[in-house]
């Protein structure tokens, strides 16, 4: 059964068509400030807390689910925040179509779908190709944050990051069980209440890396488009 698509008329929502028509992301924010991206905002619990903590940063929260975007916009309005905007769009598509080099001060990915079955693990968002793509769009010194409650996913990302040239670990170890001041989302609280520990990975783009040293990532048609095509071949 197909879910009804909720029309989102919030002033905090950016329709993808606006960017495809040539609008720039910075036009949608009231202040000219560094921009950070949350990939997979859910219902907005994390981004609301983060935006309140950092009013000096503009945040773009994205999700592929219509209902989550709708609820996130409602929570932004209730909180009275002006430094958050929301899009319903896929991360790879957004980055490769609408971002330029050194655009992002930070990227946050919290508890993404772990795709627990071995045959589906290639569908995981955070892999070598993706973090190399992010490297192009992060500012020198820009932050990459990743969290998950899934042991295999947390350990694999912690092991991956030191092998990707251009990233520097911001932690003393490969991963942490908590980050001081880092907002805990609704889903994280749920996992913690069940006794499931959270893996946190925090890396930074090396300051000496310049965009001319990196190859611009190829235009990406979108993750779900790619794997659905592969399964139908």
Say which CATH number the domain at 199 has: 3.40.50.150
Do the domain assignments include residue 1?
A: no
Do the domain assignments include residue 2?
A: no
Do the domain assignments include residue 10?
A: no
Query: Where in the sequence is the domain holding 96, given as residue range(s)?
Result: 16-232
pLDDT tens, the chain, 233 aa long: 456 889 999 999 999 999 999 999 999 999 999 999 999 999 999 999 999 999 999 999 999 999 999 999 999 999 999 999 999 999 999 999 999 999 999 999 999 998 889 898 889 999 999 999 999 999 999 999 999 999 999 999 999 999 999 999 999 999 999 999 999 988 899 888 988 899 999 999 999 876 667 888 887 666 554 434 443 33
Catalytic residue among 26, 45, 113, 151: 113
Threshold 0.75, pTM exceeds? yes
Tell me what the pLDDT averaged over the chain comes to.
Answer: 91
Question: How many structural domains comprise the chain?
Answer: 1
Residue with tokens 């020198």: 140
Sheet strands side by side (includes 138-148): 84-88, 58-63, 35-39, 104-110, 138-148, 199-205, 167-169
Do the domain assignments include residue 5?
A: no
Estimate to the nearest angstrom the gap between the alpha carbon of 132 and the chain centroid.
14
> Known catalytic residue: 113?
yes
């Amino acid at each position: 059964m197909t879910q009804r698509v909720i029309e989102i008329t919030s002033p905090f929502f950016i329709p993808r068509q606006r960017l495809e028509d040539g609008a720039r992301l910075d036009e949608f924010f009231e202040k000219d400030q560094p921009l950070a991206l949350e990939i997979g905002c859910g219902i907005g619990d994390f981004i609301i807390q983060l935006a309140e903590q950092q009013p000096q940063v503009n945040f773009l929260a994205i999700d592929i689910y219509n209902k989550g975007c709708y609820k996130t916009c409602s929570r932004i309005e209730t909180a009275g925040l002006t430094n958050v905007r929301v899009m319903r769009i896929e991360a790879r598509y957004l980055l490769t179509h609408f971002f330029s080099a050194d655009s992002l001060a930070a990227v946050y990915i919290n508890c993404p779908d772990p795709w627990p079955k071995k045959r589906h693990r290639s569908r995981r968002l955070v892999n070598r190709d993706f973090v190399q793509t992010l490297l192009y769009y992060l500012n020198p010194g820009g932050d990459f944050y990743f969290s998950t409650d899934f042991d295999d996913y947390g350990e694999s990302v912690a092991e991956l990051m030191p092998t990707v040239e251009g990233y520097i670990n911001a932690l003393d170890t490969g991963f942490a069980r908590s980050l001081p001041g880092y907002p805990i989302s609704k889903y994280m609280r749920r996992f913690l209440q069940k006794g499931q520990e959270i893996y946190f990975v925090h890396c930074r783009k090396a300051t000496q890396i310049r965009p001319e040293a990196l190859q611009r990532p190829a235009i990406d048609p979108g993750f779900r488009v790619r794997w659905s095509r592969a399964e139908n071949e």
